[in-house]
Structure 1
Amino acid sequence: MSTIERTRAPRAPAGPAARTRRRAGTVNRRTYPAWFLLPAFAILLVFFFLPTLFNFIYAFTDWSGFKAAINPVGLDNFTELASNGSLFRALRITLLYAVLVAIFQNVFGFGLAVLLERDTLLNRIARVFLLIPVLMSALAVGYIFQALLKPEGSLNQLIGGVLGHPFDYAWLGDTTWTIVVVSVIHGWKWMGLSMLIYLAGLKTIPDDVIEAARIDGASRWYAFWRVRAPLLAPAVTFNVATALLGSMNGFDIVQATTGGGPARTTEILNIFIFRTFGQGLFAQATTMSLMLFLLVALLAFPVIYLLRKREEIL
């Protein structure tokens, strides 16, 4: 027997706790929870990754509903869309729509979060009711507002009753302000989600910070805007990014309210893609879908980067 073997201390018998830990470790090693992710990955593969891949393929072909053969055409689809100005007009309207939705959704959500911050029974009931539009179908919301905003709709009748004379303004027929009205509708639908995020941010601010500001002589208004509001930077980042990127992929509310009118002033890119695909021009529609994908991707990274830098500064 070697010296090392003689001097090695005998191992103590394993107790019940040690045996239980070993059994738990064995069970953990023998279970494979990652397998449960396979259905989700399969759905993503079929309904997201493969269509995205085919977007990059069919955008460079002459695929259409008027012939069976599909031939490569290079960059002809891109040059054709760029030459007639339709693509850039739709992109400009989409960007304007996204910015307006982000403004309205965050202003509404932030204001509601401040008003309903106190945990009273009335505030809790109001929060629940304000979340109902988030759960509703966007198409249903669009059709409801289309009925309300007609010249003979309920809103004009209400305003006429207040003014004492008939009021028949075409809320969805003005080529200047209809994009703003539709953006307000979109922001109204999702303001409940923004309200929840801002409420969560307000609840996480320590009371000690507010008390220190009060002791230093800060008024309630000054303490809110100079102390509490900067601490909401992560909530602002999430809400602005989701509102911008989500509204750029918008379709249903605009389709239900205006269908892209009047005079195509609300024809965002997804409405344009829908019409082009309905005309049988599948390759052109796929090209525009690819442009929208690239636009969202190119906009997402700078927006999130700038908002993160803002968080660090604040």
Structure 2
Amino acid sequence: MTAPSVRRGPLLGGGLYPTWFLAPAFAILMVFFFLPTLFNFIYAFTNWSAFHDDIAGVGFANFESVLSNGSLVSSLRITIVYAVLVAILQNGMGLGLALLLERDTRLNRFARVVFFVPVLMSALAVGYIFQALLKPDGALNGLLHVSVPWLGSTTWTVVTVAFVNSWKWMGLAMVIFLAGLKTIPEDVLEAARLDGAGVWKTFTQVRFPLLAPAVTFNVATALLGSFNGFDTILATTGGGPAQTTEVLNIYIFKVYGNGLFAQATTMSLVLFLIVTILAFPVIGYLRKRERVLS
């Protein structure tokens, strides 16, 4: 017996009717992403601020002012340091968890869920939790019976904040690395063991090179995500102490809060261009490494 055919009415657009289900998503993207991005390019060339009643074009004056601003250069340097630290810590912890929880046991499955929970949490919530834990009279110092200014050092606070952000996202890196480990053929590992390779040599010479696609994805997402870092830093330090954790987005937020809307818009456009310029060589290098190792 043949299955009854599905009738497609004229209101469904014939064979194209599934496309209509994408309309709400495209509408949201248009209103909250594409249009703001378009206006970002427009307002960067104006004098838009809380101190003007009208908006007029000023050409490249905002870019000249922004690029000559020493605070912006300092924030860019801090952003790069922060992004590199997050990429190293997040992927190091994620890979360690993936190797530790690789075996498909009931305990490991439960542990994977536990370590993935922070990924689903709000970044602001994570930041406020760690801010309470790491303050001078917080739980961590009380537990260790020490008095360490975890968020008060002008040298090490950026490392602490990078660790907090890495802790939040290491579950995602773990899942990607786990997926990569599961795709490694068992016969390749068996051949390495028969050749006398130990656990460490098998990992460095066989398993890690075959994880190249997972490394590319995790490093790229960690770097690009960290360049747009905001929530965790705002909740933990607010850019302090002494502006040592004031990444670009925090600095832009403060400039916007001072009513200099056009300058803040120009800075966000500069950040967008910097991320775009850095993304291509980083991703290109990682993809080239994939081809060499494959």
**2:32 matched to which residue of 1?**
47
User: Do residues 136 (structure 1) and 115 (structure 2) align?
Assistant: no
CA distance in 2 between partners of 1:126 and 1:263 (Å): 39
Query: How far does residue 31 in structure 1 lie from its aligned partner after superposition?
Result: 4.8
The corresponding residue for 1:312 is 291
| Structure 2 equivalent of residue 264 of structure 1 | 243
Q: In 2 relative to 1, CA 118–286 (structure 1 residues): closer, same or farther, beyond 3 Å?
A: same
Q: What corresponds to 2:54 in structure 1? A: 69
How far is 1:84 from its partner? 2.8
- Measured after TM superposition, the shift of residue 29 of structure 1 is 4.9
Greater radius of gyration (CA): 1
Mapped partners of 1:83, 1:304: distance in 2: 30
- Aligned with 1:223 (options 177, 199, 202): 202
Q: Report the Cα distance in structure 2 between the residues aligned to 1:121 and 1:26, rounded to whole angstroms.
A: 47
Partner of 1:127: 112
Q: In the alignment, which residue of structure 1 is the partner of 2:159?
A: 180
Q: TM-score, normalised by structure 2?
A: 0.95
Q: Please state how far the C-alpha of 1:25 moved relative to its aligned partner.
A: 11
- The alpha carbon displacement at 1:83 in A equals 2.0
* Cα deviation, residue 78, structure 1: 1.4
Point out 4+ residue stretches in structure 1 off by more than 3 angstroms. Answer: 23-31
Q: In percent, how many aligned pairs have the same letter?
A: 68
C-alpha separation in 1, matches of 2:69 and 2:24: 44
* CA deviation profile, 1:167-205 (whole Å, cap 9, x unmatched): 211110100000000000000000000000000000111
SS in 2 for 1:229: helix
Partner of 1:298: 277
Listed as ranges, the gaps of 5+ residues in structure 2 are none
Residue 136 (structure 2) aligned to one of 146, 151, 161: 151
TM-score computed with the length of structure 1 as normaliser:
0.89
Give the whole-Å Cα distance in 2 for the aligned partners of 1:31 and 1:79.
Answer: 49
- What is the alpha-carbon distance in structure 2 between the residues aligned to residue 250 and residue 209 of structure 1? 40
Per-residue deviation, residues 105-145 of structure 1 (Å, max 9, x unmatched):
00000000000000111111111110111111111110111
Residue 82 of structure 1 and its aligned partner are, at CA, apart by 2.1
Counterpart of 1:89, as a letter, is S
Instruction: State the number of aligned residues.
Output: 290
> How far has the Cα of 1:273 moved from its partner?
0.9
Deviates more, 1:76-85 or 1:23-32: 23-32
Code of the aligned partner of 2:190:
E
Q: What amino acid does structure 1 have at the position aligned with 2:153? A: D
Verify: 1:201 aligned to 2:180, yes or no.
yes
Helix, strand or coil at the partner of 1:32: helix
User: RMSD of the TM alignment (CA)?
Assistant: 1.7
Q: How does 1:69-148 map to 2 (within 5 A)?
A: 69-148=54-133
Q: CA–CA distance in 2 between the matches of 1:194 and 1:123? A: 16
Residue 170 (1) aligns with residue 149 (2): yes
